[in-house]
Each structure stands twice: as C-alpha cells, then as structure tokens.
Structure 1
Amino acid sequence: MSELTYPMARQRPFDPPDEVTLLRQRAAMHRLTYADGHRGWLATGHAAARAVLASPCFSVQPEHMHPLLPTKRAMTGALNAEPPPGMFVRMDAPEHTRYRRLLTGQFTVRRMKLLVPRIAEITDGHLDAMAAAGGPLDLVGAFALPIPSLVICELLGVPYEDRAQFLEDSKVLVNLDSGPEESVAATGRISAYLLDLIRRKRVESGDDLISGLVGELADDELTTIAFVLLVAGHETTASMLGLGTYALLTNPDQLAAMRDDPSVVDNGVEELLRYLSIIHLGPLRTALEDVEIEGALVRAGEAVAIHVASANRDDARFPGGDRLDVSRPTGGHLTFGHGIHQCLGQQLARVEMRIAFPALLRRFPGLRLAVTPEEVPMRTHAIAYGVHRLPVTW
C-alpha cells in the first residue's frame, strides 16, 4: 500500500478531495507522510478533529512542526523559524494566554455590533459602484476583497489609502507557491509599514485597535499582532464572500432563501462556513505526550493535520453534509477552529457576511455568473481556498 500524503486535488469546486472523503468513511484518523518524511497523522472525522484542537496535549509551537506540502518555504525551513515576539498563533499556553486575553478585549461581540452601521455603509457604497459600472465585472475585485479590507483597516487604524502595497504583499504570503525570498521581502515591507504606524500612534492615538494596545505591548509585539490581524482579517473573509457567492449562484434555491428570508441569513452564513471550509491546509498540531484520539494512539512528537473541510462534512455530525442547506442546524462546525486558538476575528467575519451576502443579492436580484461554472478560476494553491475571480453580471 502506498504512503498517504496530504490530498489537495479537488474533483469539484465546493467539495473536499474525494480521496479524503473515502478516508473519513473508513476511519477518523489515518497515518500520513509529511513533506519532510515525518510519519504523523491526518484527522478526517469531526470528533477526532475537535478532540485534537481542544486538547492541551498538543502544541502549535514551530519547533514541533513538520511541513504538510513540499512548498518552497517549507523546504527551506521557514516553517520552523523562530516566531517573532507577539506571534500568538504559534504559541502554547501560558505564553499564548497573555496575548489572547488582551486581544479578546478588543474583539468583543459588543464592539463588533457597533461596527454594523459602518459595515453596512461600506457595503452599500461598493454596491452603488457596481451598479454604476454595470456588468459584467469581477465580484472579487469589486466587492469581496475591498469590503473586508476596508473594515479591517478601520478597525486597526490603518489608512485605507495605504492598502495597495499590503494587499499585494498579502497575496504573496498566502500563496503556497511563493518562494522564501519573496515571502521575507513581503513580510519586511508590511512589518516596516506597521512599525512606523505604531510609533505614530504612540504620539497621537485614535479610536482603533492598535491605539488601544500601544500602552500594553512593545513595538515588536504589536507589529507582529497587527501584521497577523491585517493579513488574516481581509484574506479569509474575502475568500468566503467570493466562494460563498459562487456557491449560492450555483444553488438557486439556497440563494433565494438567503435573499428573501431575513430569518435565514444568520444560519445561512454558518452553513456556508461549514459547507465551504476555506481553510483547506491544516491546522497542524504536534503531540507533547502519548494521547489516544478516536482509537488511534498518537505518540509524543507525532504531528496531526486536521482536515477541516472533511470534518465539516462528517455525516456523524452533519447528516447529508455534502449538500448546501441554509436552513440546516449548523452549530459546531470547525471552520473557525476550536479550543484556545479558535479564530479571534470570527465575530467580525460573521457580521461582515451577514450584511454583505443579503445586501448583494437584494440589490442585484438577477445576479448570475458571466461565465460557465467550469470557467471560474479556483484559488487552490493558497492557505485560504476560494476563487481568483468571479465574473458576474445581472
């Protein structure tokens, strides 16, 4: 029997690879060969994935990590590089706890709700621009990318007029085919920009997240945190808006429900998050001690890759999970992760999608693809799965 390596090839745009689905139907945990030859595990079942993410027996620290894919960056050791100060997403407790507590205070549900009028205003402005331009156009460039980019800029206190360079650099950082030199250069440019901004905010602060943290963190810590939030805060939601619209346009009954029934929208967003599962590479954890997960004994030092898209289609948790159903009870999906590293900005992402999807569909009730579904270019070699472009008209 050949060794299992991490499956990436998708047969259909919205479904995980068939190979992964077949694996999940056999068992929740599978032996996996990582790109550096490490023999670890792949978690395909929902209960197994949730157990790994919740367990303090697993680490996210880079010295324990092994690359899933033979990317240029992973093969040059970038994956295991010492994380800079403030890189809380690659820290275990208790180091992680201090940063998480500070940031949780900035991402309260109350604060996200206060952003609703501004997000609605931003959304309406981009819809007005789309109407003025007329179709066909690329929905990613006109709608899906600029809305979360502008929102995260305002939340952090980053001038939106400065966005062009960091948007280009973000594309480099999330592209799995980017080489180490490109990635280092892009990281350096974003970090230098943010450090200068932070130093200015120490002199003249505003009503934004960076200003709220300048008294709590050193420059290098805050630069790293702002970097993570800036890149993650627009890339992931932009992917969901683009891919989610594509999914709705190819499921007209679900689109009609999201457009016409306001009571469906909140649950519909959760279902799109579950069904699409845009984080299609990892997350990764490494066992610090022997631990049993769904009948598999994971030894200390062995890595576990969690296949979120597979876990979110597990029939044991979501019966008929391969079908998009915006009325389905969808609580418990793992798109935002689980445990102490659950996505910090999940409430912001929810607010943006709950506003953007119905606003788009109501403004353009005749919205449709301007190409055949097969011609939509998929973003397969990026950390967040999605579409490169979404040509639409109405």
Structure 2
Amino acid sequence: MSDLPQLPFPRRDQLDVPTTYRELREQSPISRVRTQAGDEAWLVTGYEDVRRMLADDRLGRSHPDPDSAPQISSSVILGGPRGDYATEKQEHERMRKLLAPAFSARRMKALSDHVQDLVDDLLDRMAAKAPPVDLHEHFSFPLPVLVICELLGVPYEDRDRFRALADGMTNMTDRAAATMAMDELSDYIHGLVMEKRRHPAEDVLSDLANMDADDKEISDLGAGLLFAGHETTVNRIDYGVVFLLSDLAQRDALAADPSLAPAVVEEVLRMAAPSDHGLVRYAKADIEAGDVTIRAGEAVLILTSAANRDESVFAEPDVFDIGREAGDPHVAFGYAQHHCIGANLARVELRVVFGRLLQRFPTLELAEPLHRLRTRTGRLTGGFVELPVTW
C-alpha cells in the first residue's frame, strides 16, 4: 500500500489545518495513512469518531511489543508507544486521582485573581516599551511559565534552563538530543522533589513528593506537568491573538466588551492548531469502527484539530467567529477519561488574557503580515517563533 497518503500534509497558512483532513474525512472519517516514520496507521479526523476513540478502553498508549510497534514520528514524546502494557489503565486512573486535587476548580478559582495581577504586570511592562514589541517573548511565554512555576513550586529564575530543555524535548529531527533533554528535565524535577520532602510548601511538587510512587515516576510526572503546563498555553495565546488581529472587527468587538472573553477562548481553543502531530494510540483488541476494522497492535492517530473543523458539527468550521452559537463542545482538551486534567488551569489563564489584553491595547495590530510570521519547524508543538505587534 505504497500509495497511502503520507503525513504530514501541507497547510495553506499557519491558521489553517491541512485540507487533506477534510478530503479524507469525506471518504472515511477513519483512513489508512503512512506516518512520518514510514509505518502505517489509522488517521481519525471525524468529530464523533475522535470522541469515540478517546473514550474506548481498547485503545491505549502502550503496546505489547514496543520494539515492533508502528512508529508515528521521531518524537520522543509522541513518536511511538509508552507505558507498561499490563498496567497502563490502572496507572492512568491512579495518576488522575492523585493529580485531581492540584487542578481542581476550587484551586483554579483561587488562582484566578493572582493570574490577573500577573497579566496586568506583564502588560504594564509591555506598555513601557516602544512598539513594535514581540508579544511572544514579553507576554505569551512568561505568563504561563509564571503560573505553572507557582502552581508546581518551580523557581521562576530557572525558566531559561527548563525553557531550553522543554524546547529540546520537542525536537523532531534529533531523537537522541530530545531524549537527553527529557531525562535532564526529569533530573531537574527530581532535585526539586527531594527539596520539597525536606521543606514542603503549598504546591503540586510538595504533593507529589509525598505520594505513593517511586522517585523516577514522580520526577517524570512533574517534568510532564511542567512541560505541558506552559507549552500549549503559550501557543494558544499566540494563535488567539493572531486570529483576532486578522479580523479587526472581532478585535474591536472584544475590546468594547471584555465579557466576550470566555466565548473568545473557546473559539481560540477550537481553531488553534499549532501542531499536526495528533494523539497516538494502539489497539489492544480488534475494533470495528464504521466500515473499517482496526486490528490489535495497529496504530491510531487521533486528530482533535481536524475534529474541531468537522463541517458536520461546526457551521463554517474554518471561520474564526467569536459570536459562534454554543453547540457541541470542541475536543481541544480531549474527551472522556482522556480529557486534559489541566483544562481548568488553561481556561483561567486564557480568559484573563483575552479579557485584559485589548482593554489595555485596544488598537493592537500585527507588526508583520501573517505570511511573514515565522513558525517553529522540526518541533512537536509547533507555534510561532516570535509575534511582533504594535499599537
């Protein structure tokens, strides 16, 4: 089957998703493709099928024979199977239960006022600079880092160190370097956890330091939280700003009415697609899905970004519309037992960001046209290299 569609597919621009997703979905919402690594996998692009697959316990991140498992890419994070095949489900449930209090709605509500102070301080600093200013460097990046550092108990002054390691982990061209960066970030977290055992505080790493797990497991979990807790939110801020500044009528609507911020955030989450990689799963048993059969051991690539543009669910799915009627929810945070545990945290940050940014800079504009904005290549999470703005 050498004629299979080959990932990754091209995009028309940074704000779009590949048109091939729609073409494949019209033929079948679950299609056979060839991965970046050259192996075969099932690509899931339909909204209902994405939700069904995320909720199906017959799919997991592990594989009974990892060495022979189909590979998706060279990513050390999502390139192939991870976890113990025999205990994956129990471990996933145990970790979610342990982490749930750290990301509870109550804790996030308590954090909200502080996030507003952090946002206002960063905007004050930005306003003191002469435009154009790189919004990515001076706002989109530091805010989620400040928040996750405080939540986890990571020293903010170490941000340059873990920024470099987090970036290294996403390297899709040098797996050895990415593995080294991931191990080093885990070692860094291990040192902090040891310190928290001696001097506990009101933070997540102190909670992890006392949980029933071995040190390696705790360190890897803490490193994963530090990575995921800032990387994806940085991208959502950048992409949300670009969407708004690409349609000044919608920018002006939000500037005039900051109560629109929650709706804006949900549309940003639905539309933003900085990465084309998808979520990796392996079938633990044969699965009948519509007119296809996914065999045990086969790879499944779940594309939430494609599902969020499914024309059977969202009217004019490729149009960014902050006045969009509430309907079926997007799947940017996953679904069912695989709904992102940090969703509340991301929403708290993004709602404050989009509720305050245009209050402070109502005439904010891109300082470069969209086609000249550089995106990060060879990186799992994608995103903009910089985001120059003026006002």
C-alpha separation between the residues in 1 aligned to 2:290 and 2:114? 45
Which has the higher mean CA deviation after the structures are superposed, 347-356 or 322-331?
A: 322-331
Query: Which residue of structure 2 lines up, in the alignment, with residue 357 of structure 1?
Result: 354
User: What SS does the aligned partner of 1:297 have?
Assistant: strand
Whether contact under 8 Å (2:376, 2:382) holds in the other structure is: yes
Matched-pair contact (CA < 8 Å) for 1:52–1:293:
no
What's the secondary structure of 2:23's corresponding residue?
A: helix
Q: What does 1:224-235 align with in structure 2 at a 5 Å threshold? A: 224-235=220-231
The answer to whether 1:385 aligns with 2:391 is: no
Deviation at 1:47, TM superposition (A): 0.8
In the alignment, is the contact (CA less than 8 A) between 1:370 and 1:391 conserved in 2?
yes
User: Which sections of structure 1, spanning at least 5 residues, go unmatched?
Assistant: none
Percent identical pairs in the alignment equals: 35
Q: CA deviation at 1:144?
A: 0.3
In structure 2, C-alpha distance between the alignment counterparts of 1:148 and 1:344, rounded to whole Å: 16
Match of 1:267 in 2: 263
Counterpart check, 1:207 vs 2:208: no
Question: Once the 2 structures are TM-superposed, how far is the Cα of residue 194 of structure 1 from its aligned partner?
Answer: 1.2
Alignment match, 1:8? 9
Q: Within 2, Cα distance between the matches of 1:239 and 1:260?
A: 25
CA contact (8 A) 2:233 2:346 kept: yes
2:135 aligned partner: 139
The amino acid of 2:132's aligned partner reads P
Residue identity matched to 2:47: H
Once the 2 structures are TM-superposed, how far is the Cα of residue 262 of structure 1 from its aligned partner? 3.1
Which residue is 1:18 aligned to? 19
Cα gap change, 1:380 to 1:309, in 2 (>3 Å): farther
Separation in 2, partners of 1:167, 1:91: 32
Alignment-derived partner of residue 121 in structure 1: 117
**Which deviations, in whole Å up to 9, do the C-alpha atoms of 1:120-164 show, x marking residues without a partner?**
111111101101112111110000000000100000001101111
* Equivalent position to 1:68, from 64, 69, 72: 72
1:320 aligns with 2:316: yes
Q: 2:301 aligns with which of 300, 305, 320?
A: 305
Task: Select which of 285, 293, 297 maps to 1:289.
Answer: 285
Give the corresponding residue for 2:95.
99
- Residue of structure 2 in register with 1:56 after alignment: 57
Q: Which residue of 1 aligns with 2:30?
A: 29
Amino acid at match of 2:199: E
- Counting matched residue pairs gives 385
Quick one: which amino acid aligns to residue 292 of structure 2? A
32-41 vs 275-284, which moves further: 32-41
Greater Cα shift, 8-17 or 43-52: 8-17
| 1:267/1:330 contact within 8 Å kept | no
Work out whether 1:376 is the aligned partner of 2:377. Answer: no
TM value normalised by structure 2: 0.92
- TM-superposed CA distance for 1:81, in Å, is 7.3
SS class of match (1:41)? strand
- With structure 1 as the length reference, what TM-score do the two structures score? 0.92
What secondary structure does 2:378 align onto? Answer: coil
Superimposed CA distance per residue, residues 149-208 of structure 1 (whole angstroms, 9 cap, x where no aligned partner): 01000000011011111001111112323x133223212322222111111110111111
CA gap of 1:72–1:354, structure 2 versus 1, over 3 A, is closer
Question: In the aligned structure 2, how far is the partner of 1:60 from the partner of 1:120?
Answer: 37
**Do the aligned residues in 2 keep the contact of 1:28 with 1:44 (CA within 8 Å)?**
yes
- The aligned amino acid for 2:238 is G
Gaps of at least 5 residues in structure 2 are none
Cα distance 1:101–1:240, how it changes in 2: closer, same or farther (>3 A)? same
Q: Secondary structure at the match of 2:301?
A: strand
> What is the CA distance between 1:338 and its match in structure 2?
1.2
Q: CA–CA distance in 1 between the matches of 2:127 and 2:309?
A: 37
Contact 1:279–1:308 (Cα < 8 Å) also in 2:
no
Shift of 1:113: 0.7
Counterpart-to-counterpart distance in 1, 2:275 and 2:341:
15
Tell me, in whole angstroms, the C-alpha distance in 2 between the residues paired with 1:323 and 1:11: 14
C-alpha displacement at 1:386, in angstroms?
2.1
The CA RMSD over aligned residues, in Å, is: 2.2
Task: Tell me which residue corresponds to 1:245.
Answer: 241
The residue number in structure 2 matching 1:47 is 48
Per-residue deviation, 1:6: 1.9
Q: Distance in 1 between matches of 2:184 and 2:294?
A: 40
Counterpart check, 1:340 vs 2:329: no
Instruction: Return the alpha-carbon distance in structure 2 between the equivalents of residues 91 and 51 of structure 1.
Output: 22
Say if 1:24 and 1:310, in contact at 8 Å, map to a contact too.
Answer: no
- Give the counterpart letter for 1:211 in structure 2: S
